[in-house]
C-alpha cells in the first residue's frame, strides 16, 4: 500500500514539475517575442542619420547636401563626407551654436522634436511648417521607441 502511495505522490510531483516547467517556458518564449519585436531606441545622431539619409554615407541630396546627415555644401567644414566620424563631428559642430541659441532664448534644452527642427529648419523652431512637423515627429518616434 505504501508503495502505491509513493508512486502516486511521485507521479503527482512529476506532473506539478512539468506544469511548472511549461509555465516557465511559456513566460520565456513570450519575453523573447516581446524583445524581438521591440526596436531599440536610437540616440539623436543615429535617428538624424536614419531620417536624413537612411544611414547612407554616400547620399547626395537634391540641393547637393552630403553625408549621412545631409549637410548643405556651404556648411560642410571639409574632409571626407563618407566617413561617418567626420560627418558626425561636422553635424555636431553645426548644431552646437543652434542649441546654445535655443537654450538662451527658451531657457531650456530642446526636446527631440525641437532638435530636429533646429537641424532641418532652425528658423521654424517656434512655428514649424507641416512638412517639418511631420519629419520632426518621425525623428522623435525613432528616439522614443
| Domain extents in the chain | 1-38, 44-144
Q: How confident is the model at residue 11 (pLDDT cuts 50, 70, 90)?
A: low
pLDDT at 121 over 90: yes
- The grid coordinates of residue 22 equal 511549461
Burial class (CB in 10 A: 0-12, 13-18, 19+), 68: buried
Q: How far is CA 59 from the centre of its chain?
A: 20
- Supply the pLDDT for residue 36: 44
Written as one string, the DSSP assignment of 68-90 is TTTB-TTT--SS-TT-HHHHHHH
pLDDT at 130: 98
Q: What per-residue confidence (pLDDT) applies to 1? A: 59
129: phi > 0 → left, psi -120 to 50 → alpha, else beta; which? Answer: beta
Name the CATH code of domain 44-144 (choices 1.20.1530.20, 1.10.530.10, 1.10.287.810, 2.60.320.10): 1.10.530.10
Amino acid at each position: 500500500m505504501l508503495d502505491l502511495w509513493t508512486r502516486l505522490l511521485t507521479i503527482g510531483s512529476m506532473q506539478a514539475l512539468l506544469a511548472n516547467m511549461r509555465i516557465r517556458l511559456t513566460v520565456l518564449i513570450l519575453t523573447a517575442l516581446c524583445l524581438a519585436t521591440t526596436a531599440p531606441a536610437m540616440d539623436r545622431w543615429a535617428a538624424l542619420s536614419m531620417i536624413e539619409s537612411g544611414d547612407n554615407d554616400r547620399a547626395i541630396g537634391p540641393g547637393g547636401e552630403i553625408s549621412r546627415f545631409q549637410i548643405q555644401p556651404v556648411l560642410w567644414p571639409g574632409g571626407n563626407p563618407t566617413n561617418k566620424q567626420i560627418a558626425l563631428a561636422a553635424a555636431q559642430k553645426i548644431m552646437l551654436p543652434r542649441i546654445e541659441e535655443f537654450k538662451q532664448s527658451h531657457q531650456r534644452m530642446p526636446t527631440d522634436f525641437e532638435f530636429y527642427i533646429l537641424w532641418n529648419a532652425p528658423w521654424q523652431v517656434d512655428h514649424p511648417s507641416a512638412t517639418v512637423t511631420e519629419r520632426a515627429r518621425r525623428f522623435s518616434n525613432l528616439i522614443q521607441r
